[in-house]
Amino acid sequence: MLEFILPFETAGVGLGNPTLDVIPSTLPGHLSSRGSKDVLLCERVQVAGLSRLKLGHYASSFRVTVAPSVVIPERLHSKILVCFHGNASLGSCQCEKDEWKTSQKGLWNFVMSPYEDRYVDVKFIGEISGSVTVSVEEDFQRWRLFCLALGFFLLLLAPVVSSWVPFYYSSSMAIGILLVIIILLFQVFELTYKLSWINRKSQVRNLEGLRVWLFSYLCEEYWSALLLKERSEKQSFK
């Protein structure tokens, strides 16, 4: 069997083109004997990000969804694998084995930054006819704006608060108390580990002592039985 892969054109989705239906096909230049278990059907979709100059999308993230078409039976969904990565130099369907994901209730969901480019590799295992739909949508997250506003507020408040004496002493005490708590926790964990190790050693010693006692008890019973047998034989002989 001869197998080699040549580069091919990559389809893409983005905010301008949020949905794309793709049908995995045989890789160009990929030769395989019929009936082999090699993966012959594969397709790559690029998820195009935005320019970092577009600050209006700072509080957003991209949610990428891959869904098989309705013509593909649900029992075959486990034979559809998806790899979500950002390595443009990686060949199609060349992801590591642990990077391939199976469907979760018939869907694949991924989250990415709006300012990066990612790739979706889809491969079919076996003879599956049908398409998959790759879609991307912008997910606005308000908590990022809240954190940004809080950071600016603390930055503006820093010159005033840093010269405030109660804040100076309270922050120093808080740091000292935090360090003491960390040291105490470390000592407690270390003591717990030592006690657990001692308990394990004591358990081993108890088992060893039980084994020695049991062995000595069996030996004593054995010799006692031999002595009783010998005495009974002597009495019967007399």
Residue 44 is assigned to a structural domain of this protein? yes
- Return the higher-pLDDT residue of 5 and 108: 108
Q: For the residues of 132-176, what is the DSSP string, one character each? A: EEEEEEEEE-HHHHHHHHHHHHHHHHHHHHHT-HHHHHHHHHHHH
Task: With respect to residue 215, please indicate whether it lies within any of the assigned structural domains.
Answer: yes
Structural domain contains residue 157: no
Question: Same domain for 127 and 185?
Answer: no
pLDDT tens-digit readout, 130-171: 889 999 999 888 888 899 899 999 889 888 877 777 777 777
| 105 φ/ψ angles, rounded to the nearest 5 degrees | 60, 40
Q: With 90 as the cut, is the pLDDT of residue 64 above it? A: yes
Q: Are residues 79 and 179 in the same domain?
A: no
Does 71 fall in a domain? yes
CA distances from 179 to 161, 173, 182, 199 (A): 22, 10, 5, 30
Q: Which residues pair with 79 in a beta bridge?
A: none
> Under 8 Å CB-to-CB from 125, ≥6 apart: which residues?
39, 79, 80, 81
Whole-model pTM: value is 0.59
Domain count, the chain: 2
- Give the model's confidence band at 98: pLDDT under 50 very low, under 70 low, under 90 confident, else very high: confident
Smallest CA-to-CA distance from 103 within 136, 69, 137, 141 is with 69
Domain co-membership, 114 together with 224: no
The pLDDT of residue 34 is above 80: no
Domain harbouring 18, CATH code? 2.60.120
Range of the domain at 183: 169-237
Per the domain annotation, does 158 fall within a domain? Answer: no
Which of residues 105, 129, 145 is at a domain's end? 145
Residue 98 counted as domain residue: yes
One domain, residues 108 and 202:
no
What gap in Å lies between CA 147 and CA 141, rounded to an integer?
11
Same domain flag for 24 and 60: yes
Contact between residue 46 and residue 81 where contact means Cβ atoms under 8 Å apart: no
Strands 19-22 and 132-140: antiparallel
